Structure 1
Amino acid sequence: MLGPDPHDGPVGTGPGTGVGAPASYAHAPVPVHLLVDRFDEHGPTATLFTEPENGACKHAVRVAFGGELGLPAPFAVAVDTGSFPR
């Protein structure tokens, strides 16, 4: 899934916060899930989850806003997170 995470919300845990979203998409299985989190405890980040298997994503890459995330095929583009709102 590319785009806003429908589970994302205010800081916290549980329903409406995005915390369970990667596992939910892995169960689907959604092959590519980009989670944009302005409220990450370490600062704004974007995390790309791939390779869902048995309800978990085998691979995740996280970058702070300002970095680039390379999306796999069929997208095969780099996402520049420098313009993401903080």
Structure 2
Amino acid sequence: MKAAGKVLLLEGPAQPDWTGGLKHGEPIDALPYIDDEYGDLGVKAEVDRLVEEEMRRSLRKPSDFLRGLPPAPKLNFE
């Protein structure tokens, strides 16, 4: 956008570094979302298998999984 020959830019705070999950070469992963299908025994077995696989691959223990991430930004809502 130009006004009187000058380029107008929006400035804001720098973006936070969210690479905490990648420090040790461990990718941040996510499991698929399911809702009603969890009552199906086949789906439950597959979900349990995926969770177990994810837990085996993870270098982090459940008690310290947030330790490597930066703190969440503080927001001022009115």
TM-score in same-fold range (> 0.5): no
Task: Return the structure number with greater relative CO, CA threshold 8 A, min gap 6.
Answer: 2
Query: Is the helix fraction higher in 1 or 2?
Result: 2
Query: Is the strand fraction higher in 1 or 2?
Result: 1
Larger Rg: 2
Task: Calculate the TM-score normalised by the size of structure 1.
Answer: 0.29
